[in-house]
Structure 1
Amino acid sequence: MRVPLSWLAEYVELVPGTTPEQVHAALVEVGLEEEDVHTFDLVGPIVVGEVLEFVEEPQTNGKTIRWCQVRVAPDGETAADGGEAVHGIVCGARNFFVGDKVVVTLPGAVLPGPFPIAARKTYGHVSDGMIASARELGLGEDHDGILRLSTLGIDAPVGTDAIALLGLDDTAVELNVTPDRGYAFSIRGVAREYAHATGARFRDPVGEIEPTDVAADAFPVVIDDRAPIRGNLASQAFATRIVRGVDPTRPTPAWMIARLKLAGIRSVSLLVDITNYVMLELGQPIHGYDLDALRGGIVVRRAVQGEPFTTLDGKARTLHAEDVVVTDDRGPIGLAGVMGGAETEMGESTTNVLIEAAHWDPVSIARTARRHKLPSEAAKRYERGVDPTIGAVAVARVAQLMVDLAGGTADQGGSVIQTAPERAAILLPDGYVTRVTGIESTVEEVHDALAEIGGVVTRVDGGFSVVPPTWRPDLTGREELVEEVARLGGYERIPSILPVAPPGRGLTRSQRIRRRVAEVLAAGGATEVLSFPFANAEENARYGSVDGGPVASVKLANALDASNALLRRSLLPGLIGAAKRNRSRGLVDLALFELGLVFLPEDGRVYGSSELPAGGALPSDDEIAALDAGIPPQPRHVAALFVGDAVTKQPGQAAVPAGIVDALDAVRRIGLATGAEFEVVHGSHHAMHPGRTAELRVAGRSVGFAGELLPSIAEEADLPRVVAVLEIDLDAVIELAEPQPEAQAIGTFPAATQDLSLLVAADVPAGVVAASVREGAGALLEELHLVDDYRGAGVPEGSKSLTFALRFRAPDRTLTAAEASEAKLAGAALAGERTGAAIRE
């Protein structure tokens, strides 16, 4: 909202010399955000001149110029630029005549651009200034000819300061109006807020306008809404007024043009400008109809689905059944609250006007404006909420201006329909403001603040009964009233105290573990990425299933990209896409990870069938359960990708390429963060290298996989042949992990180390053998890890030799070699029973 300061000063007292910055600062104190300052960017001398004579001189380029003699100061006086009273000026326009009063920019003046004016030689003459057009002055877009003051109804003495004469010395402050404060889309609303901030006296323009009584049936209006939205009628107030005998050719006054321009609205014609002016002044959008073009009375109704309608901009539109239309006997003549119709618009031949000011349902208007892509100034106000009680005042104000400026006569024709319900009272208990804000507010302070914003405040037992003002539809509960008290009292009074969380609050176990997982992966050198949760059927089948067959997926009803219209079943497509993009930009060594949701619907099951509960109350437990049942499983996964070099080449160090070792090391880190013990066994996945894929298990349950992508898939994604990845169901790991892992005491007695080499069939997983040895060796075994997997000379065909490093320790004594050997052999014996392993001699 742009607010010209001269206009603001009509309704609130501004101290002389108040700057735009001071106005901004005051309004910021009451919660309005400052945006910008707007001026006409003019520097004088710019004066009224009179064309004494001119000579038309054709030029060799085919253009004809006028060499003009223009009086810019009274006879015998010096011009504002210090020169003679009569200046010779070259002008290319030809729309003026001898005796016309025009706007002359003298040498030393500066026009918007900036465009400095100086005496210069052109077309064989020294042009001592310039005769200006409306566009050059910033008053409008008309650049076809110079601005003749007679077209604005102005006859000022020669030499008069044209900047002040035309209202071009004004300044506007621009504010960002939040959606809940639609009343600030008016001079009336901003003036009230400035009064709140500074204590200046506020004069409500609504109180200064007396709506004239009109005959109830002087102009027929019927509101016929058989399909209210959410129980709200299309219109709860509708006021009309008839003005006859207007002269549409009269010029819009310069002061009105200047104010509209500063407010961001271009001048169209006097009749249209008046309706826009009142809209900015009061915040009530106005529409004017050519009365003679109307057929019969007005009916407000919902549109018929597919009904055609041509708006003021000349575009034919197809209406929706939710759209509200204003109709006469022929059909729609206005898209309510958004834009009028072409057949009844006010034009050059209009002499009788029907003025309309209505109150429309905000949600309906917002939907209509977006549906038809018509973000009009009227819709912008209606969708935020307009005072439903000022329609009669607004049409009276328009009628007054049309009488004063357009020469019309306001008659008793019109109508007033007022069905808006009275605002309900809100109970604000004593002490509630203090409990919410921390500000010690007295009863008097609360009363005065709520009364100042326009509320009807009544003292009741234990608090106040407050009826919010009609222009504040955002005040619906006690919390909003508390904010008003805090806002007017000053936000700086609210103490900066961090509240203490009640016992038992804070992050849940799952949240803490997820954070630790992200921290350990980042500490290991990986970078977290966030990818879109969308995929296509091929990606879901490839990475979201072990065998690559068709899988059930959640399809988006309104996808951003039709080629990725499904919700992902795996995090890997996003990581692969991120790796591809980064490598294309020169980042070839990558370690990436992501924590996010995947969507795993059951095949053949329909989701989302439960109806949404009403928004007026909290849903019941049964309703929440029904909603949850309509959502497919959404487990949280963690995935990582490694490509390029894990260690780059440097002096004395060869490059170490990334591979499955890095993926398994990330698994180990995740195990440390979650407290889960991963069992790594040989696995298979159709998108993974068959010999370099591990299945990950926790407590015997498969929770994910790690390994290297098939080279063909890596090549398809423009990645190197070796791309290591992992994906783990993190929710399952958290569920299976020990809730509170026990810390092991550090042994203080010496350890006994031994090696154990076992011959076993080549197809027996090393992890199974290791688990058997660990179980058989008993409590004395402190650590076991595989150090060698040998297949070759000395090992029978179809077998392999697995060598394990064992470390034994007793908590209360030094072990003997015999005790360590006995435990080792016990482990080997159990491995022999379960896997057929034998000690290699």
Structure 2
Amino acid sequence: MRAPLSWLREYVELPASETGRDVAARLISAGLEVETVEQTGAGLKGPLVVGQVLAIEELTGFKKPIRYCQVDVGTAGTRPGEPQNLICGATNFAVGDKVVVVLPGAVLPGGFEVGARQTYGHLSEGMICSERELGMGEDHDGIMILPPEYEPGTDAIELLELVDDVLDIAVTPDRGYCLSMRGLARETATAYGLPLRDPALLDVPAPNPDGYPVQVADPLGCDRFTARTVSGLRPRSASPIWLRRRLQKAGMRPVSLPVDITNYVMLELGQPLHAYDRSRVEGAIGVRRAGSGEKLVTLDGVKRTLDAEDLVITDDRGPIGLAGVMGGANTEIADAAEDPGTGGAGGTTDVVIEAAHFDAVSVARTARRHKLSSEASRRFERGVDPEAASAAAQRAVDLLVLLAGGTAEAGVTEITTPSGPRTIRMPADHPDKVAGVAYGRETVVRRLQQVGCDVYGTTELTVTVPSWRPDLTDPNDLAEETIRLEGYENLPATLPRPLPGHGLTERQRLHRRVGRALAAAGYTEALSYPFVGEAAFDALGLDAGDPRRRTVQLANPLSDEEPGLRTTLLPGLLATLRRNDGRGGHDLALFETGLVFLPTGTETAPDRLPVTARPTERQLASLDAALPEQPRHAAAVLAGARERAGWWGGGRPAGWADAIEAARTVAAEAGAELTVENAQFEPWHPGRCAALHVVLDGERVLVGHAGELHPRALKALGLPERSCAMELDLDLVERAGAGAVRAPRVSTFPVATQDVALVVDASVPAADVESALRAGAGELLESLRLFDVFTGEQLGGGRKSLAYALRFRAPDRTLKAEEASAARDAAVAAAVERTGAALRGA
């Protein structure tokens, strides 16, 4: 909503020193989103005056029409009292027309300085301006023609209101009343503590049976319909400058006087209006649901096939408009230049004004169904004041009588569906509890009254909500109004006080430890949206029956391409990897910990919960039953160099082993031990994929995968070659762990190191050999590390040598050589028995 400050001052008597930026600061403090404050006419400097064309000489011999004009500018010219000589290339004006003349010494918007200059063989003492040159709009097709009543020499800057501040406000869906000057003026008056001159306070005649006939067949879709008739309009009446300028500043294009008036009243009061050419309406106006397959040509010239749920305005022929969205072309206001046979004697002379209140949901669905968003539908979707309909119709009638010479007919049609005022009961201290600030009853009552509520009661308040605030439905809404008007910036920054003995759960502690550990290992946390679509699964190469393709579908997704909740963290992380790689960051290591959503098929629809009281245990159980499983996962992705090259030596690219090590880092924080074995699982490379297991309740459980991604997936996702990834079920790892990680005990006794090289079949996993060595070495084994893998002709085909370094240490004594050797021999014996290994060189 664009709000000119000059228009706002008409309803609120702001101090003269207040600028648009000052008003914006107050409105922002009150909770509105003021995006920009545009200073129209910035840099404009006169003299800029009204001129009357006295003579025109057509110059020939040039590629385009050139006119040498004499223009009367009163006493404002370079030669006071004498006409100014001006060169102009436009041809849409004639002798006697009033135009806008900028004289030498003036500066136009954009820093364009105007001076006298010799051109086309004549001296031009200034220029005649178009609307775009004055910063009034984009019309540059011809010169701006002014109404004849203005005298030559009149200051055009003041006449055209060229200098102003325009506030551009992003109105949120719950504040539809701010899509009007009336609503914004109310907020401004409240912010400054000033009285409001409400433009809706008009004397409106009572309904009577002489009005234009209206039949409402759907009172739920249309609970109020006001119709007024104005006859005898002058078809050639043009919108006055002040009206056109206010529409332009508000971002609307002037069309014709009747249409401009309906738009003006909509901007002023927030009530959309529609004007019908009475000569084009046949019979009574009706409101009903459309018949399936009915057709309507809307004002934009598009022929639309209507849906049975569309609410339409009709006459005896059928639909003549989409209710609350857009009118039909067959009853459009006719321009004075049109054929008299289509719109009266050279244009519309009699109009029927419609001011109605339509159901917000119905209008929103119709607008989306036909992809037809309009200024009217935007307002009806957010909520329009039903009590303002009769005042808006009266305001339009008054302007048509004043500006177009019409006559207001005595008939007034008003059809209403009875409805009582909405009331809310709220404890007087409820806003205090919500905000954690002691406002007190007097402050709460005063703020709610400023909003427009009627408030009664002492300890418990009975609040009657004003008709223009359909968003106020619950005590928390009233608390929000109190808090925002008192100022969000005045809320103290306080930490919540946990109950004694409460704090972070072990799950939360593990989450933090994992994040710190991965960050210490060189990974950067990247949070992604939890939405996913089939395209992501296709790029990963998942089979049609892969359980990860079965997602929880959102009822109202942000994007049709991502309608489901993620079942894996990889799509979001890999998209972040691709984005950063494309921006020049090629050496990347990213991680994320977050929930995934796994539907079980047994979810049920939850109960609709009130906001006035705490949910019952049954209601909470209903909520839990509606949720899918939500395990927490940890994932990491790598690309480029893991160790960079420099003066210290060569670097090293990231590989599958780094992804496995990241998984081990996560498991170590939970006190769990991973076992690693070769696997095939999309989207990993079949020869470089590891399945990660833990022991849980005595059973070996798969908790994730790690390794290098498949080349097909890398190509589909646009990722660097040899990119790697890992993903773990963090909840399962936590359950398999030993709880909180304890600091290792440091022994003061020396370590005994024994190396051993074992020859096994190439198909035997190193993890199996390591497991056997650990089991056989016993309690004296402190650590075990694989430091060499060798294959060659000496070993024979299909054989490999694994060399391990075993560190033995006793906590209470220095080990003897015989003890260390015995432990090593026991470890080798266990490996020989379990894996068929042979001691190399034996």
Please indicate the TM-score interval, normalised by the length of the shorter structure.
Answer: 0.7 to 0.9
**Is 325-334 or 514-523 further displaced after alignment?**
514-523
User: Residue 421 of structure 1 aligns to which amino acid in structure 2?
Assistant: S
Contact 1:326–1:332, Cα closer than 8 Å, also in 2 = yes
Residues 576-629 of structure 1 deviation map (CA, whole Å, 9 limit, x = unaligned) = 776677667765554444545667778xxxx4885565466768356435533x
Normalising by the residue count of structure 2, what TM-score does the alignment of the two structures yield?
A: 0.86
Determine whether 1:57 maps to 2:51: no
Cα distance in structure 1, aligned partners of 2:103 and 2:381: 47
Equivalent of residue 47 in structure 1, options 32, 46, 49: 49
Cα distance in structure 2, aligned partners of 1:343 and 1:177: 33
User: Residue 305 of structure 1 aligns to which amino acid in structure 2?
Assistant: S
Determine whether 1:293 maps to 2:292: no
Secondary structure at 2:200's aligned position in 1? helix
Alignment of 1:365-376 (within 5 A): 365-376=363-374
Contact 2:211–2:228, Cα closer than 8 Å, also in 1 = no
Equivalent of residue 396 in structure 1, options 385, 394, 414: 394
Contact 2:534–2:549, Cα closer than 8 Å, also in 1 = no
- CA gap of 1:588–1:203, structure 2 versus 1, over 3 A, is closer
- Structure 1, unaligned runs of 5 or more: 227-232
Q: How many residues align?
A: 816
Alignment of 1:329-728 (within 5 A): 329-347=316-334, 348=336, 349-419=347-417, 421-460=419-458, 462-503=459-500, 507-529=504-526, 534=532, 553-554=549-550, 589-595=587-593, 607=601, 610-611=604-605, 613-614=607-608, 620-621=619-620, 623-624=622-623, 626-628=625-627, 631=628, 635-651=631-647, 653-683=649-679, 693-699=689-695, 700-708=700-708, 725-728=725-728
Shift of 1:766: 4.1
Shift of 1:491: 3.7
Determine whether 1:198 maps to 2:192: yes
Residues 688-725 of structure 1 deviation map (CA, whole Å, 9 limit, x = unaligned) = 66765544321132333444567788789888886555
Cα distance in structure 2, aligned partners of 1:523 and 1:563: 36
Contact 1:439–1:493, Cα closer than 8 Å, also in 2 = no
Shift of 1:658: 3.8
Secondary structure at 1:43's aligned position in 2? coil
Shift of 1:289: 0.7
User: Residue 672 of structure 2 aligns to which amino acid in structure 1?
Assistant: A
Cα distance in structure 2, aligned partners of 1:622 and 1:235: 39
**Is 425-434 or 106-115 further displaced after alignment?**
106-115
Cα distance in structure 1, aligned partners of 2:457 and 2:363: 37
Paired position in structure 2 for 1:214: 207
Contact 1:544–1:570, Cα closer than 8 Å, also in 2 = no
Contact 1:660–1:724, Cα closer than 8 Å, also in 2 = yes
Shift of 1:651: 3.8
Paired position in structure 1 for 2:127: 130
- Structure 2, unaligned runs of 5 or more: 337-346
User: Residue 487 of structure 1 aligns to which amino acid in structure 2?
Assistant: R
User: Residue 187 of structure 1 aligns to which amino acid in structure 2?
Assistant: M
- CA gap of 1:62–1:640, structure 2 versus 1, over 3 A, is closer
Secondary structure at 1:620's aligned position in 2? helix
Paired position in structure 1 for 2:343: none
Paired position in structure 1 for 2:339: none
Shift of 1:672: 2.0
Shift of 1:288: 0.8
User: Residue 49 of structure 2 aligns to which amino acid in structure 1?
Assistant: V
Residues 722-769 of structure 1 deviation map (CA, whole Å, 9 limit, x = unaligned) = 655544333322232222344443223444444456666665444334
User: Residue 101 of structure 2 aligns to which amino acid in structure 1?
Assistant: V
Shift of 1:562: 10
Alignment of 1:789-800 (within 5 A): none
Contact 1:554–1:599, Cα closer than 8 Å, also in 2 = no
Shift of 1:241: 0.8
Paired position in structure 1 for 2:780: 780
Secondary structure at 1:399's aligned position in 2? helix
User: Residue 221 of structure 1 aligns to which amino acid in structure 2?
Assistant: V
Cα distance in structure 1, aligned partners of 2:711 and 2:165: 68
Residues 2-41 of structure 1 deviation map (CA, whole Å, 9 limit, x = unaligned) = 2333332332213334432333333333233332134245
Shift of 1:456: 0.9
**Is 316-325 or 774-783 further displaced after alignment?**
774-783
Normalising by the residue count of structure 1, what TM-score does the alignment of the two structures yield?
A: 0.86
Secondary structure at 1:246's aligned position in 2? coil
Cα distance in structure 2, aligned partners of 1:164 and 1:285: 30
User: Residue 186 of structure 2 aligns to which amino acid in structure 1?
Assistant: R
Contact 1:47–1:159, Cα closer than 8 Å, also in 2 = yes
Paired position in structure 2 for 1:229: none
Contact 2:692–2:706, Cα closer than 8 Å, also in 1 = yes
Shift of 1:287: 0.8
User: Residue 46 of structure 1 aligns to which amino acid in structure 2?
Assistant: L
User: Residue 472 of structure 2 aligns to which amino acid in structure 1?
Assistant: L
Contact 1:36–1:173, Cα closer than 8 Å, also in 2 = yes
Contact 1:213–1:412, Cα closer than 8 Å, also in 2 = no
Equivalent of residue 223 in structure 1, options 194, 216, 224: 216
- CA gap of 1:373–1:511, structure 2 versus 1, over 3 A, is same
Secondary structure at 1:434's aligned position in 2? helix
Contact 2:636–2:725, Cα closer than 8 Å, also in 1 = yes
Paired position in structure 2 for 1:36: 37
User: Residue 172 of structure 1 aligns to which amino acid in structure 2?
Assistant: V
Paired position in structure 2 for 1:809: 809
**Is 586-595 or 346-355 further displaced after alignment?**
586-595
User: Residue 467 of structure 1 aligns to which amino acid in structure 2?
Assistant: T
Cα distance in structure 1, aligned partners of 2:762 and 2:298: 81
Paired position in structure 2 for 1:230: none
Secondary structure at 2:174's aligned position in 1? coil
Cα distance in structure 1, aligned partners of 2:486 and 2:715: 66
- CA gap of 1:566–1:242, structure 2 versus 1, over 3 A, is closer
Cα distance in structure 2, aligned partners of 1:650 and 1:817: 42
Shift of 1:43: 2.9
Cα distance in structure 2, aligned partners of 1:564 and 1:198: 45
User: Residue 668 of structure 2 aligns to which amino acid in structure 1?
Assistant: L
Cα distance in structure 2, aligned partners of 1:585 and 1:831: 50
- CA gap of 1:583–1:366, structure 2 versus 1, over 3 A, is closer
- CA gap of 1:156–1:422, structure 2 versus 1, over 3 A, is same
Contact 1:140–1:267, Cα closer than 8 Å, also in 2 = no
- CA gap of 1:705–1:350, structure 2 versus 1, over 3 A, is closer
Shift of 1:86: 2.4
Cα distance in structure 2, aligned partners of 1:720 and 1:143: 51
- CA gap of 1:244–1:728, structure 2 versus 1, over 3 A, is same
Paired position in structure 1 for 2:178: 184
Secondary structure at 1:383's aligned position in 2? helix
Shift of 1:463: 2.6
Secondary structure at 1:392's aligned position in 2? helix
Contact 2:46–2:157, Cα closer than 8 Å, also in 1 = yes
Contact 2:273–2:354, Cα closer than 8 Å, also in 1 = yes
- CA gap of 1:775–1:346, structure 2 versus 1, over 3 A, is same
**Is 719-728 or 171-180 further displaced after alignment?**
719-728
Shift of 1:800: 6.0
Contact 1:220–1:298, Cα closer than 8 Å, also in 2 = yes
Shift of 1:384: 1.6
Identity %: 49
User: Residue 811 of structure 1 aligns to which amino acid in structure 2?
Assistant: P
- CA gap of 1:565–1:97, structure 2 versus 1, over 3 A, is closer
Residues 641-661 of structure 1 deviation map (CA, whole Å, 9 limit, x = unaligned) = 555543344346234344344
User: Residue 311 of structure 2 aligns to which amino acid in structure 1?
Assistant: V
User: Residue 737 of structure 1 aligns to which amino acid in structure 2?
Assistant: G
Paired position in structure 1 for 2:231: 244
Contact 2:595–2:630, Cα closer than 8 Å, also in 1 = yes
- CA gap of 1:391–1:693, structure 2 versus 1, over 3 A, is closer
Paired position in structure 2 for 1:264: 251
